[in-house]
Structure 1
Amino acid sequence: MPMWLYPLVGLTSVVVGLLPWLRTGPRLPLQNLWASETSPEQMPLALLPLNQYHLVQLLGMLMTAGLIAGVIARLEPRDRRRRSTGLTALGVLAGMLAAGIQSGLVLAAGLEERSLATVYLAGVLTWATLSALGAVFVLGLIGRGRRGAAAIAVAFAAAPVAAWARMLLLPEPAAATPAVIDVVGSLRWLPAVLVGVALAWCGIRLSAKIAAWVLSLVLLWVMPALLTTIGYAADYRADVGERVGAGLDVLAAAMAPGIAGPPVLVALAIGAAGATAAAVVRWWRRRRT
């Protein structure tokens, strides 16, 4: 692919990442600190759902953009990946910056003029910035990193990608059919499948790759629980102390072996089976030559 196309690849990846939000009619979510009484249909258009109740969805959309962009950038031969990744990152950053500025200005214009609203605005924008930086980090590791590093990046992004898929398939939970709800429920296994495929592609022949396996499986154990905790804490209407305590309880429950363990075992099985099959194919090819 010509190098000049990669910034467009980055921009397109951002659009794909934002697709679950754009298809709903991207109006800014209702805000607790909005200056005036407004119905959902009267809220201004915003390219990002800047709201404390949409933190996980926002992370998922930006992380998905980074993962898609990184995979496409890595398709280049090894000696061209540095340029393809850098140019793709420029497109991703441009798209995310434009969306963030537009949404931030819209949010700032409508909030109440008091210190609590300023703190809220700063917090939401900080989360959006960290999410964008995480997406670029994932893009870089997948695009030009070694296989072990790329597998770790996939594990880091897997749970947010599942959140993106849930938002895409279930934009309005109240209107969902039972079949859609069943499909969305099965997305619990999507991070395990993504990590398992990444580990199978990574292989396990070197000590560095073994470390990548361990870290990837740890991330698969921790990240879904962490996102569950963030979503719960953001929705929990209580003082900070109670919110932190409730969040820690949810984190402990979500990381329990009976909850977090099965996806890790599935990923391990997929990775081991895939890596073994790849090793057998390589051995067979060497034998024939």
Structure 2
Amino acid sequence: MTDESAVVATKRRPGILSFVIGIAGGILGLLPWLVGGGQLPLQNLWATTTRPEDMPFALLPLSQYYATLLFSLVLLGGVFSGLAVHFLARGRGLAAWPGALGVLLVHLIAVVQSFGVLAEGLGIADGGDARAWLYFAGMLAGSIAAMLMAQLGFVMTSRRSVGVVSLGVALAAVPFASWVARWVVAFTGEVSPPEFLSTLVYWLPAVIVGAALVWGGVRPLWRIIVWAVALLALWVVPALFTAIQYGLGMRVLKGDVVEMAKASMEVFPLVLQEIWLPTVVALVIGVVGTVVRMLVGRGATRDADDA
């Protein structure tokens, strides 16, 4: 093998590794749904009467009642892959873009399979009614948006800058809590998580955001912006998730998009008033952890100087 061939082979291996990481991360994101059986949720507009246990298999939980879960499963595929690339890239010449393609491939397969099943069940091929088409288009638009956010999550968490990566982790904290909750549901078969898990999910994002802030630190000074964005997201995103799910889950509105949006907007400020405490906890964890980290770092420096 010539020197030029050796260089090409060396470059090819990290590219393949990154691509495999992307595929693995995308599958990991969907895994709690698949382990739970991957059975398509019962649909209000299904063309034929079908029992919940007879619904077909789908790689994605396509339902307005599962909108935030769908977003979390897809988003975290990008975040998991990006983190793996970030930690493995050092000294390996690991390119990030093949990993992004791997994530995208998994999500494209999941979308094609799931929406093929949904279209058949809704009778889209036979024309379908206006509500079925609107529902199908809305779910597809939401899934595409989730795929784009997964790519953004991959880009942020695969970067070399710890500040950017820590921000990506912090922004994914709330979806990660939904992902964890789905694992429990997958094994227990319960429709709603038990009380202790609800408490865990409520506080888990605060711990993750606090740890991410400690990891990112405050130097250089621009990372204070990371702190502000991460803490604001921890406060706003859970309220946004709750409001969106509230609007989409109101059956009495019968698919009236305008009324659903209005219901979500009415609930959003009310939820914001109730869920501020985890943000305070995350700030305390971040401040205390950063101070301890700085003190430990100074102590290690002094010991090295004395030696």
Q: Given the two structures, how large is their TM-score scaled by the length of structure 1?
A: 0.91
The question of whether the paired residues in 1 share the 8 Å contact of 2:214 and 2:286 is answered with: yes
1:37 to 14, 30, 49: 49
* Offset, 1:34: 1.2
Q: What corresponds to 2:260 in structure 1?
A: 243
Instruction: Check the 8 A contact 1:10/1:90 in 2, yes or no.
Output: yes
Structure 1 partner of 2:6 = none
How far, CA to CA, are the matches of 1:111 and 1:18 in structure 2?
Answer: 24
Q: For residue 28 of structure 1, report the CA deviation from its aligned partner.
A: 1.4
Q: Give the corresponding residue for 2:147.
A: 132
Counterparts of 2:294 and 2:93, CA distance in 1: 25
Quote the Cα distance in structure 1 between the aligned partners of 2:72 and 2:293.
Answer: 31
2:110 equivalent in structure 1:
99
Deviation string, structure 1 residues 171-192 (Cα, Å, up to 9, x no partner): 433586xxx5313322111111
Q: Which stretch of the first structure deviates more once superposed, 64-73 or 100-109?
A: 64-73
Indicate if the aligned counterparts of 2:185 and 2:191 stay in contact, CA closer than 8 A: no
* Residue 78 of structure 2 is aligned to residue 63 of structure 1: no
Cα 1:81/1:250, change in 2 over 3 Å:
farther
Deviation at 1:263, TM superposition (A): 0.6
Which string of whole-angstrom CA distances, capped at 9 and with x for unpartnered residues, describes residues 214-267 of structure 1? 1111111100110011111110121444433321232112111xx222111111
Unaligned runs of 5+ in 1: none
Q: Which residue of 2 aligns with 1:283?
A: 298
Aligned mates of 1:37, 1:188 — CA distance in 2: 37
Q: CA deviation at 1:107?
A: 0.7
Seen in structure 2, the aligned counterparts of structure 1 residues 145 and 120 have a Cα distance that, compared at 3 Å, is farther
Deviations 1:53-72 (A, max 9, x none): 11011011112222211111
Change (3 A) 1:76 1:25: closer
Name the aligned partner's letter for residue 84 of structure 2.
Answer: I
Note the C-alpha offset of 1:77: 4.5
2:33 — aligned with what? 21
Alpha-carbon distance change, 216 to 81 in structure 1, aligned in 2, over 3 angstroms = farther
Alignment correspondent of 1:164: 179
The separation in 1 between residues aligned to 2:270 and 2:93, in whole angstroms, is 41
TM-score (norm 2): 0.86
Q: 1:16 Cα deviation (Å)?
A: 1.7
Structure 2's unaligned 5+ residue stretches are 1-12
Q: CA RMSD in A?
A: 2.1
Moved more, 189-198 or 38-47: 38-47
Q: 1:169, 1:184 within 8 Å by CA — same for their partners in 2?
A: no
Alpha-carbon distance, 1:147 to partner: 2.5
Distance 1:170 1:36, change over 3 A: same
Q: Which residue of 2 aligns with 1:8?
A: 20
Matched residue SS, 1:101: helix
Give the C-alpha shift of residue 208 in structure 1: 1.1
Name the residue aligned to 1:228: 242
Greater radius of gyration (CA): 2
Distance 1:174 1:199 in 2: 34
Helix, strand or coil: the match of 2:50? coil
SS of the equivalent of 2:275 reads helix
Residue in structure 1 matched with residue 283 of structure 2 by the alignment? 268
Pick aligned residue for 2:98 from 65, 69, 87: 87
Alpha-carbon distance between aligned partners in 2 of 1:277 and 1:86, rounded to the nearest angstrom: 36
In structure 2, what residue type is equivalent to 1:191? P
**1:79 positional shift:** 6.9
SS in 2 for 1:260: coil
Distance 1:38 1:195 in 2: 42
- Of all paired residues, the percent bearing the same amino acid is 37
Equivalent pairs, count: 283
* Post-superposition CA distance 1:129-185 (Å, at most 9, x none): 111111111111111152232222222211111111111112433586xxx531332
What do the CA deviations read for 1:86-135 (whole angstroms, capped 9, x no partner)? 22211111111111111011111121312221121111011111111111
